Amino acid sequence: MKVNINGESRSILAVWYEDNQVKLIDQRKIPESIEIYTAKNSDDIYYAIKNMVVRGAPAIGVTAAYGLAMAFKNKEDMDKSVKTISSSRPTAYDLFKAIDYMEANKFSESAARRYALEITERSRKIGEYGNSLIKSDDRILTHCNAGALAVVDWGTALAPMRIAHDSGKKIFVYVDETRPRLQGAKLTAWELQQEGIDYSIIADNAAGHFMKHKDIDLAIVGADRIAANGDFANKIGTYEKAVLAKVNNIPFYVAAPGSTFDFSLKNGDGIPIEERDENEVLMVNNSRLGPVEGHAKNPAFDVTPHEYVTAFITEYGIFRPEELKKLYNLIQDDLFMR
């Protein structure tokens, strides 16, 4: 990921392992500043995931993998460490995939590093496959942040846009603000600006306006968990964008690695939806919205039925929802994904 620090362009990862500590870009501070959060034990990893120092399903998985390697090296109680980290957030399937991977590989540091490298490389492949769907002058809608910050590098939904831009295609990105935490306005816009990709932030409830007026050619979003039939969970507000895209005959793509597919679930009804603190909705920059006695509902994700998905962009290729059995077989043959 390219980052401009004091006028100098540098490459930095969203998550890395150094001196038996897990280092993370603190995503709560962007775009105002770039600060590094250092995790020294499994409790710190729990805090980082729970409180969204790190977010995005693949990045959460990598953080958990590094965190368990660190805990093992520190001779922590591993049963407790696994339980603590696995309780941090319920929806993102990569978290549990990474924990299973680390348990199978005896919590070794080399396994954690291999997991991070695999996820990064798979994100690059997602970008290459997704680039084939993008034409020069395309106008793309995205929701929330599925960029390098949400993985380790490259991203999922943003990876095709990065490669399209690097290949010389002229593209424009409509960035949903993504209430209540504004991951689109804060994180996605920041990443696109670092890469020199043209964009505009739009209010969450403006996407239908731009679709109706033929200003959007395709939509690409990420995912936090995908069921066997193609129903998927992503940041709250994704469902309504998918429905609008269907009504307006706009292709709607979901970009995600194999680690996000939960084939143990037949459909999206079984995906756990995290309910977050109501103050994320009620407070903006320490100012309260609405009556003092008011309350809010704050589901972090919604589930989009598979019939609204044009195709899934994965490291194995592009698959329509009715082709996910083929994807399942490819994942079963992939030693890393077992």
Burial 62-83 (b: 16+ CB within 10 A, else e): bbbbbbbbbbbeeebebeebbe
DSSP state of 187: I
Select from 57, 61, 29, 54 the least CA-distant residue to 39: 54
Question: What does the block give as tokens for 19?
Answer: 């001196």
The single residue of 153, 176, 204, 224 carrying the catalytic annotation is 224
224 tagged catalytic: yes
Select from 10, 109, 19, 23 the least CA-distant residue to 59: 23
Place of tokens 């033929």: 214
Select from 74, 73, 119 the least CA-distant residue to 95: 119
Alpha-carbon dihedral of residues 70, 73, 79, 85, nearest 10 degrees? 0
Is the distance from CB of 140 to CB of 220 less than 8 angstroms? yes
Residue 37: what are its φ and ψ, rounded to 5°? -95, 135
User: Which residue numbers are catalytic?
Assistant: 224
